[in-house]
């Protein structure tokens, strides 16, 4: 075993990734698999492509169809993970959406859609995972997807629902971290800046052109640049890190 494997290896662990069919979720699922974990992926439409990519690299993975906003779906998926993998050690709680509309233009239905998926959905998944880890006496790691938008207000686009949802995720993370400390379960959040994924690549050019001068590194991040942060938080070597929000944003929030 190499020194890096000893530090950050996940062999023998099972990791759940929500929203792992594309973008950040797919990239992180591949990274966790390369670190040795067996990967369970939850998505609304399946993640067969991600599973095939992991298996092509010699890893183990399977896909489960579930809607993270529905407790029954998530509970069924958790039961299937325990049935197939016998354990759950890591959760990358990643499923999310964003709607760019001003507050006066956005409907209450759109507000609820964003809050339901980004905040309530992450709460449902974290709650179900925490229950499983406590029941099976697993000292696991839950990594909630937040955003730099939970710390700053993005410009020039208006997205109050998204910003509010991600701020909620950050404080929910802290709350769960303290609540589950006695069980050895660590809960942290990851806050990316602008990352080149299908969600952001399809953004109108005028918005992206406005972002670049505001990013000190003058570029969007790559999904691959989040993998190391997730593996650190997933590994046992981050045992004293809980309730933290790890910002990966090219220095955007530094000023």
| pLDDT (0 to 100) of residue 123 | 98
| pLDDT (0 to 100) of residue 205 | 85
**Are the beta carbons of 40 and 16 closer than 8 angstroms?**
yes
Range of the domain at 120: 3-248
| pLDDT (0 to 100) of residue 201 | 64
As annotated, the active-site residues are 147, 162, 166
| pLDDT (0 to 100) of residue 180 | 98
Which CATH number belongs to the domain containing residue 119 in this structure?
3.40.50.720
- Computed over every residue of the chain, the mean pLDDT equals 95
Taking the C-alpha atoms of residue 27 and residue 246, their distance in angstroms, rounded to an integer, is: 18
User: The tokens of 113 are what?
Assistant: 């859609």
Torsion of Cα atoms, 176 then 112 then 95 then 232, to 10°: -30
Q: Beta strands of the chain (E only): which ranges? A: 14-18, 38-43, 61-65, 90-93, 141-145, 186-192, 245-248
Provide the 3-class DSSP secondary structure of residue 210: helix
Taking the C-alpha atoms of residue 54 and residue 255, their distance in angstroms, rounded to an integer, is: 39
| pLDDT (0 to 100) of residue 4 | 73
Q: Please give the full DSSP string across 96-117, using - where no structure is assigned.
A: -------TTTS-HHHHHHHHII
Low-confidence ranges of the chain (pLDDT < 50): none
Q: Is residue 255 part of a domain?
A: no
Q: Is residue 178 part of a domain?
A: yes
Q: What is the DSSP letter of 195?
A: B
Number of domains within the chain = 1
Alpha carbon distance, N-terminus to C-terminus of the chain: 42
Q: Is residue 254 part of a domain?
A: no
Q: Is residue 238 part of a domain?
A: yes
| pLDDT (0 to 100) of residue 155 | 94
| pLDDT (0 to 100) of residue 204 | 84
Q: Is residue 253 part of a domain?
A: no
Q: Which of 8, 11, 41, 38 is nearest to 23 (CA)?
A: 41
């Amino acid at each position: 075993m190499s020194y890096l494997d000893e530090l950050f290896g996940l062999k023998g662990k099972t990791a759940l990734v929500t929203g792992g069919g594309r973008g950040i979720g797919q990239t992180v699922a591949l990274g966790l698999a390369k670190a040795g974990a067996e990967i369970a992926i939850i998505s609304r439409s399946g993640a067969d492509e991600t599973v095939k990519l992991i298996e092509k690299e010699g890893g183990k993975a399977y896909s489960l169809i579930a809607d993270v906003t529905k407790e029954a779906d998530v509970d069924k998926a958790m039961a299937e993970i325990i049935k197939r993998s016998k354990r759950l050690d890591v959760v990358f709680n990643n499923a999310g959406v964003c709607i760019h509309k001003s507050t006066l233009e956005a409907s209450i239905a759109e507000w609820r859609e964003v809050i339901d998926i980004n905040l309530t959905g992450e709460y449902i998944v974290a709650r179900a995972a925490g229950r499983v880890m406590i029941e099976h006496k697993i000292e696991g790691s839950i990594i909630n997807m937040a955003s730099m938008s939970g710390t700053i207000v993005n410009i020039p686009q208006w997205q109050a629902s998204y910003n509010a949802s991600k701020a909620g995720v950050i404080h929910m993370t802290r709350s769960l971290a303290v609540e589950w400390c006695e069980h050895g379960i660590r809960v942290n959040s990851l806050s990316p800046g602008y990352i080149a994924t299908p969600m952001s690549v399809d953004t109108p050019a005028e918005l992206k052109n406005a972002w670049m001068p505001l990013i000190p590194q003058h570029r969007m991040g790559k999904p691959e640049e989040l993998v190391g942060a997730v593996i650190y938080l997933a590994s046992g070597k981050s045992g004293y890190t809980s309730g933290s929000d790890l910002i990966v944003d090219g220095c955007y929030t530094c000023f």
